[in-house]
């Protein structure tokens, strides 16, 4: 996440809606990747959710067909704003969601909404549990990501983190994890059994045809499956290949967004005075069914090395302020190989969107809720 500049020269941050120096109203234009001034005669105007609810700082073309921005058009259900606390929770949710969409747009993977594409599009349902109603589970199914609004409440989220024994639990982490399930469907679902990309996925992550519900029940009843140390980035990743993909994808997005943000503020990993042994180039491989473009391995290693040096330094900064370890994860050769597979798939489909599978209109939804 980079920062921006107002026309007056002041620094603007991604969530800003007003310049604190000159007082100009501003908003984010995802198509231009710029913060734009919203003067009365400007070609852009604020998203309707920004005007009516103060929830969004993205813009739409003035006088255009849509009054909701690209981000808000993805919302199928928003919280009931007559319920106390829901407006504040929705604002936190939208802030996290827009950061995810920013990264996806930079990767060439900006999702289309289900109004424009009912089959392949993405939609969000933000729901709060109510007495007598079915339980609200955060998860993904058939292009719809459901988020329990209680996850926006810090105390509630911390309770769940402790209960599940997780190292971290954040709104942005939820979005990164669940969007991975959506893109698993786009990249892999309905490929024929002899498809090389599908074979490569199973070689790296395992056979996703294992019964998902049974695998999750085993995970919650018995704990993580026995495996070699360092095989999975988190314990939840060991539950099923879909979850391994989603957790690896989420951490990959953590890594690329964290590095971009650090570099935007002049934090250079090369300046971190920590002894560091680079990961050997030979350890970064793809299954034999796939080939990588020239320079892709070097690009990935540069990314990985930068994060491996920055993360310990940032851990020390947050520890100095009395906060828990910022990034308590260690990379093994197995995990690095999974990262590289995600990196390759993200860049391949970002550059070749037509290669993504188009599922049949009447396909039964695959339950991949987390």
User: pLDDT, tens digit, for every residue of 10-48?
Assistant: 999 999 999 999 999 999 999 999 999 999 899 999 999
342-345: which pairs have CB atoms within 8 A and are 24 or more residues apart?
A: 342/245, 342/248, 342/249, 342/252, 343/252, 343/296, 343/300, 343/303, 344/286, 344/290, 344/292, 344/296, 345/187
Q: Of residues 353 and 359, which shows the higher confidence score?
A: 353
Helix (H, G, I), strand (E, B) or coil at 29: strand
Which string of DSSP letters, residue by residue, matches 143-200?
TEEEEEGGGGSHHHHHHHHHHHT-S---HHHHHHHHHHHHHHHHHHTT--TT-HHHHH
> In whole angstroms, what is the distance from residue 232 CA to residue 230 CA?
6
Q: What are phi and psi of 60, to 5 degrees?
A: -130, 160
pTM over 0.75, yes/no: yes
Q: Please, which residues have CB within 8 angstroms of residue 231's CB and are 6 or more apart in sequence?
A: 238, 332, 334, 335
Q: Angle at Cα 144 formed by Cα 120 and Cα 130, nearest 5°?
A: 165
Q: Angle at Cα 191 formed by Cα 187 and Cα 196, nearest 5°?
A: 85
> pLDDT band at residue 368, thresholds of 50, 70 and 90?
very low
> pLDDT band at residue 53, thresholds of 50, 70 and 90?
very high
> pLDDT band at residue 227, thresholds of 50, 70 and 90?
low
Q: Let me know: does 205 contact 245? Beta carbons within 8 Å.
A: yes
Handedness of CA 147, 137, 249, 286 (dihedral sign): negative
- Structure confidence by residue, pLDDT tens digits, 147-192: 999 999 988 998 988 888 788 899 999 999 999 999 999 999 989 8
């Amino acid at each position: 996440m980079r920062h921006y500049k107002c026309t007056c020269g002041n620094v603007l941050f991604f969530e800003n809606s007003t310049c604190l120096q000159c007082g100009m109203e501003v908003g984010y234009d995802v198509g231009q990747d710029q913060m734009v001034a919203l003067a009365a005669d400007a070609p852009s105007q604020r998203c309707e959710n920004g005007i009516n609810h103060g929830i969004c700082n993205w813009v739409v073309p003035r006088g255009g067909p849509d009054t909701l921005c690209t981000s808000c058009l993805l919302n199928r259900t928003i919280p009931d704003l007559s319920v106390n606390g829901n407006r504040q929770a929705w604002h936190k949710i939208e802030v996290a969601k827009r950061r995810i969409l920013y990264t996806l747009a930079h990767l060439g993977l900006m999702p289309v909404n289900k109004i424009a594409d009912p089959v392949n599009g993405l939609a969000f349902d933000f729901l709060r549990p109510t007495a007598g109603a079915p339980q609200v589970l955060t998860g993904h199914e058939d292009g719809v990501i459901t988020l329990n609004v209680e996850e926006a409440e810090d105390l509630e989220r911390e309770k769940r983190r402790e209960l599940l024994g997780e190292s971290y639990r954040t709104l942005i982490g939820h979005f990164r994890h669940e969007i991975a399930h959506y893109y698993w469907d786009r990249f892999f679902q309905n490929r024929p059994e002899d498809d090389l990309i599908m074979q490569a996925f199973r070689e790296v992550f395992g056979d996703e045809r294992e019964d998902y519900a049974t695998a999750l029940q085993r995970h919650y009843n018995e704990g993580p499956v026995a495996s070699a140390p360092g095989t999975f980035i988190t314990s939840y990743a060991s539950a099923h290949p879909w979850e391994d993909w989603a957790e690896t994808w989420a951490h990959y997005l953590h890594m690329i967004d964290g590095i971009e943000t650090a570099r935007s503020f002049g934090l250079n990993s090369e300046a971190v005075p920590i002894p560091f042994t680079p990961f050997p180039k030979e350890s970064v491989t793809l299954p034999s069914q796939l080939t990588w473009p020239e320079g892709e391995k070097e690009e990935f290693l540069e990314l990985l090395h930068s994060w491996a040096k920055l993360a310990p330094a940032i851990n020390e900064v947050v520890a100095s302020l009395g906060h828990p370890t910022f990034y308590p994860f260690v990379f093994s050769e197995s995990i690095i190989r999974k990262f590289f597979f995600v990196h390759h798939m993200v860049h391949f489909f970002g550059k070749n969107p037509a290669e993504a599978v188009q599922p049949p209109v009447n396909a039964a939804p695959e339950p991949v809720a987390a």
